[in-house]
Structure 1
Amino acid sequence: MRVAVQGCSHGCLTQIYDSIAQYEVKKSTKIHLLLLCGDFQALRSTHDFASLAVPPKYQSLGTFHEYYSGKRVAPILTIVIGGNHEASNYMWELFHGGWLAPNIYYLGAAGSVRVNGLRIVGASGIYKSHDYNKGYFETVPYDRSTLRSVYHIRKYAIERLKLLPQEANTIAMSHDWPTTIANHGDKNGLIRRKPFFREEVETNTLGSPPLLDLLRTLQADYWFSAHLHVKFAAVYEHASSASVTAPTIDLVAQAIEEVKAASTNPDEIDIDEIDEEIGTTSAPVIPEPSANPDEISIEDEFDEPAASATGPSGNPDEITIDDEFDDDIDNVPAGPAETIVYPRKNGVDGRRQGEAAQELQVDESVDLVEQARLKGDAEATRGVIGTSEPVVDPLANTESTADGRVTKFLALDKCGPGKEFIQYLDVPAPSTSIDDGPPRLTFDPHWLAITRALHPYLSLEIASKPFPPRQQLDQMVQAELKRIQEEGLLVPSAEGVEPGGLVWEKGDIDIGRVQKFWPTAPAQGEPGGSSTAWYTNPQTEAFCGMLQIPNRINPAPIGV
């Protein structure tokens, strides 16, 4: 199956589809599936700006609303996870997953689905230690604090994903990176291209510790991320049962050497051979022959620039939106409008910070971190692009083994001219050839069992509900999986003989049979709507009905 992977979208949906269309024409091929790694910005209208964590001057509607309203239709099955710059009110409606627009499926706060049997696992949001153990307490309308905390990933999401069994033919998606992943690729090249990452990279504080735990648990074939606005490849060699592997990057180094040898003519690179080593096959922008080959430009076959959006719905490249800022700054009182006064921290005297540091309180952007550090405001940005405590690399200083599994990691840049934001690759699909037909999107029965088993532990308060011991959790999930296999699921009749009728059915269940796109808020240009309104989404009702669990996500008021 031919798959396209995109980094941060930032509302540029039409540009992404146009870039893929250009690639298909140039290569005489068909892309079957598009994976979007967060900062999608599913803005239905300007009313959703109130739920998007960016400073007002960076607000841009983008083009998603045209797909939501039906003016445009997504030409490719598109699977989305959330980042830290989303229409959080709309994403919350589909906490368990659902269609954001026709042919655009959101995995929810966490989720797992199958595309022609290929398992796609996703974790939305970014990690912040102070919110990780909390429940999902945020409600619309969001205030200055909950506007940010709403997209911080929770333990409830990660622990459920960790209950998925290890399985071949698995792709994992996250917005931020697993910690220590920089040690398993061209770390020095990463620092050369993003020098303001140096401290975090060298202290193992770059990224998300829970995602590292998930990476080691799932051992997926591929792991795709975004968030840091840079392209970076790595190969993570997992531990065997007897020992753990060293952080060798032989596979990465070999692929880089091949690119170096062909760097004077990138079009001559054998993309299948590169895919064999790294798992990627093309990039939309080919560097000049003089470009530094250490930049892990590992496929370089598509040289069409990103299509540029114009008009008020286009996202200019200056929009820099990505989250991560210590919330210990949230409670710092502001000084005059043009400055913020910071107290003494880590032995460093407070000082007046610039505009970028101020905007971090709302935006928490990687790009704003870079701006602030270039201006000498390093202290104000500590903890923004990583954890506050160093993480031990579990593969450091150990002997390599030959029987461990390998995860091929790739992070991509944000959408924009000259950015390495999209990647094309061939991924084996367990099901039979899809030929020219659309891929089949089905529920993952293991994830449905996990969702039903752990639904009682979903907290909508600040305090989370503690999980039982792991052994008990496994037993609970296995019991629900057995129930699904023996009883089936309550789904709409496939034949439609009984309008509105439900039947018990076993086996693979098409998602589109149960969840059908239904616009809740009015689209841009349509009457009605409000920045403070919330909606009960019929797709969430249908999902919960299938599993026979109560809908606790924006349930309809009693009597309505």
Structure 2
Amino acid sequence: MKIAVQGCSHGSLTAIYDTVSQYTAHTSEPIDLLLLCGDFQALRSKHDFASLAVPPKYHSLGTFHEYYSGQKKAPVLTIVIGGNHEASNYMWELYHGGWLAENIYYLGAAGSVYVNGLRIVGASGIYKDHDYRKGHFEKVPFNNSTLRSVYHIREYDVTKLMQLSDTKDTIFLSHDWPISIARHGDTGALLRRKPFFRDEINSNTLGSPPLFTLLNHLQPAYWFSAHLHVKFAALYDHSSSTTKEIHKLDEALPSIPNGSPTVEIEKNPDEIAIDDEDDFDDPVEANVVKVLDKAGNPDEITIEDDEFDYPPADSLVQVEVPLKEESMVKEDLKLDESADLVEQAREQGDDGSTTEIIGAPIESVQEAVATSNSNTVEVEEGRRTKFLALDKCGPGKDFIQFFEIPTPSSSSSSPPRLTYDLEWLAICRVFHPYLSTNIHQTSLPPPAILQQLLSDEVSRMKEEGLLVPSQETKEDGTIDLIWVRDAIDIERVQKFWPTAPSEGLPGGSADQWYTNPQTEAFCGMLGLENRVNPAPK
């Protein structure tokens, strides 16, 4: 299956789809699935600005509202997680997951689904210790405090994800990075681009501790992130082996052949570019596709919660994407396991010799670890996760990557089939009594009891199935409910339905919340009370 992965979106949805379309036009390889790693900004109208954690000077709608209203349709199945700059009122409506717009599916605060047999798991938000053990107490309208805490990841949701089995055909999406992952890639190159990460890498505080726990439990084949506005690849070995590996870094992105014509797309004049990078490597000048970003980065802001004052960008931005044939400099470096990783990055010699770790190849992550020249080091067999973080959408940024990822042969279909993960549905049903909408999180049962409850629930679902709408409509327009025991297409249960009015339509307010029919349908399928946004009585 051909997959595209995007870092932070920052409202630039049309620009992202245009990039995907250009890739397809120049390679004749249609993309089956697009994965977006947070800061999506599903703004339906200006009323949603009150629920977006950015300074007012950065309020700009972007282009999502055009897809929400039906003016445009996503050209490829898109799966989204949330970051720390979202329309949190809308995301909360779909806490359990649902369609943000037609063909754009949000995984919820935490979630797991299947696409053609490939499991896609995600965790939204970022980690802050002071909110981690709280319930989901935030309510619309948010105040200055809850506007930030609402996107902080919760232990309750992480514990739900920890109940998933470690299936090898798994992709994990997060906005934050798992803590310590920076030590499993080209740490030196990361510090040359982001020198201010040095202290956090030294103290092992860069990233999210709960995500590291999930990384070790689920051991997914691939893990994609964003948030830190830099491209970074790593290879995390789950075995206990200390065998040394030689890696080769290939930063070519994306794969568009030589001789491609220049593509010009008009950019949103309201873009505010906030560059938090220090000096980046100069982009490859030859054979680039110059994209004048129509959607731009209207709400692109710093990676921290603090407000910073940055000037607006020019009205046109050129996004230069280097071609595969013009790849950046490749380094073949060796690990000295006795030296400190950060010190290795600092002490690289003029002759290019170094002892820092180099991450997994980026150009084709489906390949095994690449080795340089004639140096071959045998690696003990074991599960490994290929990690890739991508930059924000913007000029000269490595913000999108294309992959060919194998799926179970018996599950391939075109267009791709999005189905529920029955194991995740069992987890949702078992955990639902403990979902707290107050500041204090309800205590969970001991692990042994949870495991027994889950085992019983999985068995029950396999025997009884779930009650879902049939695929046939009666003459009178009604649809029967039937019991289904196999994979359930999500669209059979949850269908996109706009709640708040979109931009340009009357009604709505910044203080208003909505009962989302998709959340009602999800809870109804599982026989649960809608605690997220119940209909007024």
Band of TM-score, shorter chain: 0.7 to 0.9
Name the SS for the 1:449 alignment partner.
Answer: helix
Give the residue type in structure 1 aligned to 2:289. E
Distance 1:321 1:87, change over 3 A: farther
Within 5 Å, give how 1:196-345 maps onto structure 2: 196-239=196-239, 244-246=240-242, 250=245, 253-256=246-249, 259=250, 303-309=288-294, 314-316=296-298, 319-324=300-305
Instruction: Please list the CA deviations of residues 388-409 of structure 1 after superposition, one character each: whole Å capped at 9, or x if unmatched.
Output: xxxxxxxxxxxx9723200000
Name the SS for the 1:356 alignment partner.
Answer: coil
**Counterpart residue number, 1:402:** 380
Q: Distance in 2 between matches of 1:302 and 1:48?
A: 40
Whether contact under 8 Å (1:140, 1:534) holds in the other structure is: yes
Farther off after superposition, 216-225 or 401-410 = 401-410
Q: Distance in 1 between matches of 2:286 and 2:434?
A: 48
Q: Distance in 2 between matches of 1:555 and 1:492?
A: 21
Whether contact under 8 Å (2:9, 2:297) holds in the other structure is: no
Distance 1:247 1:127, change over 3 A: farther
User: How far 1:322 moved relative to its partner?
Assistant: 3.4
Q: Distance in 2 between matches of 1:19 and 1:167?
A: 31
Whether contact under 8 Å (1:128, 1:324) holds in the other structure is: no
**Ranges in structure 2 where 5+ consecutive residues have no aligned partner:** 259-279, 311-377
**Ranges in structure 1 where 5+ consecutive residues have no aligned partner:** 269-290, 326-354, 359-399
Q: Distance in 2 between matches of 1:219 and 1:468?
A: 25
Name the SS for the 2:25 alignment partner.
Answer: helix
The match for 1:519 among 498, 503, 520 is 498
**Counterpart residue number, 2:513:** 534
Instruction: Please list the CA deviations of residues 32-52 of structure 1 after superposition, one character each: whole Å capped at 9, or x if unmatched.
Output: 000000000000000000000
Q: Distance in 2 between matches of 1:306 and 1:462?
A: 46
1:455 partnered with 2:432: yes
Whether contact under 8 Å (1:135, 1:462) holds in the other structure is: yes
Higher helix share: 1
**Counterpart residue number, 1:412:** 390
1:505 partnered with 2:484: yes
Name the SS for the 2:458 alignment partner.
Answer: helix
Farther off after superposition, 138-147 or 488-497 = 488-497
**Counterpart residue number, 2:457:** 480
Whether contact under 8 Å (1:42, 1:87) holds in the other structure is: yes
Whether contact under 8 Å (2:297, 2:393) holds in the other structure is: no
Name the SS for the 1:10 alignment partner.
Answer: coil
1:550 partnered with 2:529: yes
**Counterpart residue number, 2:76:** 76
Whether contact under 8 Å (1:19, 1:305) holds in the other structure is: no
**Counterpart residue number, 1:89:** 89
Q: Distance in 2 between matches of 1:302 and 1:545?
A: 53
Give the residue type in structure 2 aligned to 1:553. V
User: How far 1:247 moved relative to its partner?
Assistant: 8.9
User: How far 1:416 moved relative to its partner?
Assistant: 1.0
Name the SS for the 1:223 alignment partner.
Answer: strand
**Counterpart residue number, 1:276:** none
**Counterpart residue number, 1:438:** 415
Whether contact under 8 Å (1:267, 1:301) holds in the other structure is: no
User: How far 1:228 moved relative to its partner?
Assistant: 0.2
Q: Distance in 1 between matches of 2:130 and 2:202?
A: 23
Q: Distance in 2 between matches of 1:301 and 1:421?
A: 19
User: How far 1:304 moved relative to its partner?
Assistant: 2.2
Name the SS for the 1:504 alignment partner.
Answer: strand
Whether contact under 8 Å (2:27, 2:257) holds in the other structure is: no
**Counterpart residue number, 1:130:** 130
Instruction: Please list the CA deviations of residues 237-280 of structure 1 after superposition, one character each: whole Å capped at 9, or x if unmatched.
Output: 003xxxx24495x3xx5332xx49x99x9979xxxxxxxxxxxx
Distance 1:14 1:292, change over 3 A: closer
Name the SS for the 2:247 alignment partner.
Answer: helix
Give the residue type in structure 2 aligned to 1:516. K
**Counterpart residue number, 1:385:** none
Whether contact under 8 Å (1:119, 1:169) holds in the other structure is: yes
Within 5 Å, give how 1:19-38 maps onto structure 2: 19-38=19-38
Q: Distance in 1 between matches of 2:117 and 2:457?
A: 21
Q: Distance in 2 between matches of 1:207 and 1:99?
A: 29
Name the SS for the 2:289 alignment partner.
Answer: coil
Give the residue type in structure 2 aligned to 1:508. A
Q: Distance in 2 between matches of 1:515 and 1:171?
A: 23
Whether contact under 8 Å (2:392, 2:399) holds in the other structure is: yes
Give the residue type in structure 1 aligned to 2:70. G
Whether contact under 8 Å (1:82, 1:175) holds in the other structure is: yes
Whether contact under 8 Å (2:121, 2:170) holds in the other structure is: yes
**Counterpart residue number, 1:40:** 40
Whether contact under 8 Å (1:51, 1:86) holds in the other structure is: yes
Distance 1:433 1:133, change over 3 A: closer
Give the residue type in structure 1 aligned to 2:87. A
Give the residue type in structure 2 aligned to 1:534. W
Distance 1:402 1:57, change over 3 A: same
User: How far 1:431 moved relative to its partner?
Assistant: 4.5
Whether contact under 8 Å (2:302, 2:308) holds in the other structure is: no
Q: Distance in 1 between matches of 2:505 and 2:512?
A: 15
User: How far 1:472 moved relative to its partner?
Assistant: 1.5
Distance 1:17 1:357, change over 3 A: closer
Q: Please give the root-mean-square deviation of Cα atoms over the aligned residues, in Å.
A: 2.6
**Counterpart residue number, 1:428:** 406
Whether contact under 8 Å (2:472, 2:479) holds in the other structure is: no
Name the SS for the 2:425 alignment partner.
Answer: helix
Distance 1:94 1:301, change over 3 A: farther
**Counterpart residue number, 2:317:** none
Within 5 Å, give how 1:466-477 maps onto structure 2: 466-477=443-454
Give the residue type in structure 2 aligned to 1:304. V
Q: Distance in 2 between matches of 1:266 and 1:491?
A: 43
Name the SS for the 1:315 alignment partner.
Answer: coil
Distance 1:147 1:92, change over 3 A: same
Distance 1:321 1:494, change over 3 A: farther
**Counterpart residue number, 2:373:** none
Give the residue type in structure 2 aligned to 1:510. D
Whether contact under 8 Å (1:38, 1:83) holds in the other structure is: yes
Distance 1:245 1:204, change over 3 A: farther
Q: Distance in 2 between matches of 1:130 and 1:555?
A: 28
Distance 1:132 1:224, change over 3 A: same
Instruction: Please list the CA deviations of residues 502-540 of structure 1 after superposition, one character each: whole Å capped at 9, or x if unmatched.
Output: 111110000001000000000000110100000000000
Q: Distance in 2 between matches of 1:419 and 1:122?
A: 24
Name the SS for the 2:68 alignment partner.
Answer: helix
Distance 1:292 1:148, change over 3 A: closer
Q: Distance in 1 between matches of 2:473 and 2:502?
A: 30
Distance 1:59 1:450, change over 3 A: same
Give the residue type in structure 1 aligned to 2:397. K
Q: Distance in 2 between matches of 1:7 and 1:116?
A: 23
Name the SS for the 1:139 alignment partner.
Answer: coil
Whether contact under 8 Å (1:43, 1:87) holds in the other structure is: yes
Name the SS for the 1:74 alignment partner.
Answer: coil
Moved over 6 A (4+): 265-268
User: How far 1:28 moved relative to its partner?
Assistant: 1.2
Give the residue type in structure 2 aligned to 1:515. Q
Name the SS for the 1:42 alignment partner.
Answer: coil
Farther off after superposition, 426-435 or 63-72 = 426-435
